[in-house]
């Protein structure tokens, strides 16, 4: 099946253009989320990598408990990654994790706000819950953001993401339905109730859960016969999944333009291959990538170094190599590379825009880990009639605002300019021959 036919056959939900709203920034998303929670009447399903114990996380959890107290019949489910909830922040030493906070809050409130942990693999290193999209009554709030101070711009710093609001009962039902089918009494334990099971005791349940996930899909109507604006929800876990196939089909279907945004430049081979095929076809490609200092793993000079602090430089090295090998395309303007940098803030916007028709929203980092290990999803907006071009263009211009174009790979600097600790770590990594393996799990 050619890529155009594959995309056209994907089942999706027909939607009016005015039913899709792009929220401009993290503060607008936080306000919208809190307002929608306060107004909910039937159901709230919050899905995120984590709900953090900080001021913004407390604000969200307070809103959920207040909504439950006001309307006891309201069904509230929060779904987060099981491993992430049971550990502290990277580099912060031993901490009880957010699960202890969830339990303390439940004991304090005495209300039923169920918080489930989903273990996608037997170890966090080999896969996490990376589903996105929260459902409140008949609307879907879709973003790659988790729930903490930086993602929600609670104080001075923000982490830029993408924020979309869909008013669609069919889409909300499909996404809530998948979450309900995902949850399992033993495989996805309650984190707000003690005692938490030991990781070793969950291994069998986790393997069965992952096998079941491979067979799962969003239940939506068949593709409509007439061209119309529609939203296609896609699920992805493991190699060759529907999200991966659709993403590659998007790149293969491009005839004039591709825009790719990712905070971490580490594309899998299949994506790199489709990029090069598109360049060969004469397609104009634009990459928007976060500057190393806009990476959430970045460690400023003078702060204690850890291995994770080398990751921004590794991503930068990947991009520099990519740009050097395609210097001719950059010089003639066919390949545009933009580096997002708003000093003091971080970058987390992910997605793909193809021609003037397709827009993919996803939490997938478009890297080997996202393609092979994590549980991912995405919403593909298919706009064959050009009904949603203005909001699409406005969002893209907003992402480009702090992303100037580079003229050549040399604009990214040189490896010799990396801090001494980073150079030492990356040199050891290369000599150990572990670099290819490391890149697969980043």
> Annotated active-site positions, please?
130, 161, 348, 376
Beta pairing, strands 375-382 & 230-236: antiparallel
Residue 359: closest CA among 350, 370, 351, 371:
351
First-to-last alpha carbon distance for the chain, in angstroms, is 32
- DSSP result, 374-430: SEEEEEEEE-TT-SSHHHHHHHHHHHHTT-PBPSSGGGG--GGGS-HHHHHHHHHHH
Q: What is the DSSP string of 87-121?
A: S--TTS-S---HHHHHHHHHHHH----EEEEE-SS
Tell me if 266 sits within 8 A of 440, measured CB to CB: no
Distance of alpha carbon 254 from alpha carbon 228, whole angstroms:
19
- Concatenating the DSSP letter of every residue in 251-304 gives HHH-SSEEEEEESS----HHHHHHHHHHHHHT-EEEEEEE-GGGSTT---TTSP
Helix (H, G, I), strand (E, B) or coil at 77: strand
Cβ-based neighbours of 409, under 8 Å, separated by 6 or more: 320, 323, 324, 327, 330
The Cα–Cα gap between 59 and 30 comes to 10
Tally of residues, the chain? 442
Rounded-to-5 percentages of helix, strand, coil across the chain: 40, 20, 40
Nearest-angstrom CA–CA distance, 361 and 379? 5
């Amino acid at each position: 099946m050619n890529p155009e036919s594959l995309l056209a056959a994907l089942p999706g939900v027909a939607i009016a253009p005015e039913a899709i709203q792009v929220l401009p920034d993290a503060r607008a998303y936080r306000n919208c989320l809190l307002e929608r929670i306060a107004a909910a009447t039937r159901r709230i399903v919050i899905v995120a990598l984590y709900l953090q114990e900080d001021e913004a996380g407390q604000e969200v959890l307070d809103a959920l408990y207040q909504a439950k107290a006001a309307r006891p019949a309201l069904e509230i489910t929060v779904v987060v990654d099981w491993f992430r909830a049971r550990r502290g922040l990277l580099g912060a030493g031993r901490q009880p994790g957010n699960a202890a906070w969830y339990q303390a809050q439940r004991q304090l409130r005495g209300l039923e706000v169920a918080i489930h942990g989903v273990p996608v693999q037997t170890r966090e290193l080999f896969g996490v819950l990376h589903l996105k999209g929260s459902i409140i009554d008949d609307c879907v709030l879709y973003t790659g953001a988790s729930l903490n101070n930086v993602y929600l711009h609670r104080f001075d710093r923000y982490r830029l993401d993408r924020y979309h609001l869909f008013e669609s009962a069919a889409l909300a039902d499909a996404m809530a339905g998948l979450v309900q089918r995902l949850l399992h009494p033993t495989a996805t334990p309650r984190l707000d109730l003690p005692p938490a099971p030991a990781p070793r005791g969950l291994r069998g349940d986790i393997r069965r859960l992952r096998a079941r996930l491979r067979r799962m899909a969003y239940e939506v109507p068949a593709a409509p016969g007439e061209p119309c604006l529609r939203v296609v929800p896609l699920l992805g876990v493991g190699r060759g999944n529907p999200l991966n196939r659709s993403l590659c089909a998007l790149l293969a279907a491009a005839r004039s333009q591709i825009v790719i945004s990712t905070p971490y430049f580490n594309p899998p081979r299949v994506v790199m291959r489709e990029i090069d095929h598109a360049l060969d076809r004469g397609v104009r490609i634009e990459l928007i990538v976060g500057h190393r200092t806009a990476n959430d793993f970045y460690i400023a000079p003078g702060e204690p170094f850890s291995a994770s602090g080398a990751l921004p430089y590794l991503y930068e090295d990947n991009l520099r190599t990519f740009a050097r090998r395609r210097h001719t395309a950059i010089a003639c303007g066919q390949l545009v590379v933009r580096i997002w940098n708003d000093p003091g803030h971080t970058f987390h916007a992910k997605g793909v825009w193809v021609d003037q028709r397709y827009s993919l929203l996803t939490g997938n980092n478009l890297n080997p880990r996202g393609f092979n290990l994590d549980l991912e999803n995405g919403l593909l907006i298919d706009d064959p009639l050009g009904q949603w071009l203005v909001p699409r263009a406005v969002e893209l211009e907003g992402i480009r605002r702090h992303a100037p174009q580079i003229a050549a790979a040399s604009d990214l600097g040189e490896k010799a300019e990396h801090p001494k600790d980073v150079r030492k770590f990356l040199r050891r990594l290369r000599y150990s021959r572990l670099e290819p393996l490391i890149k697969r799990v980043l």
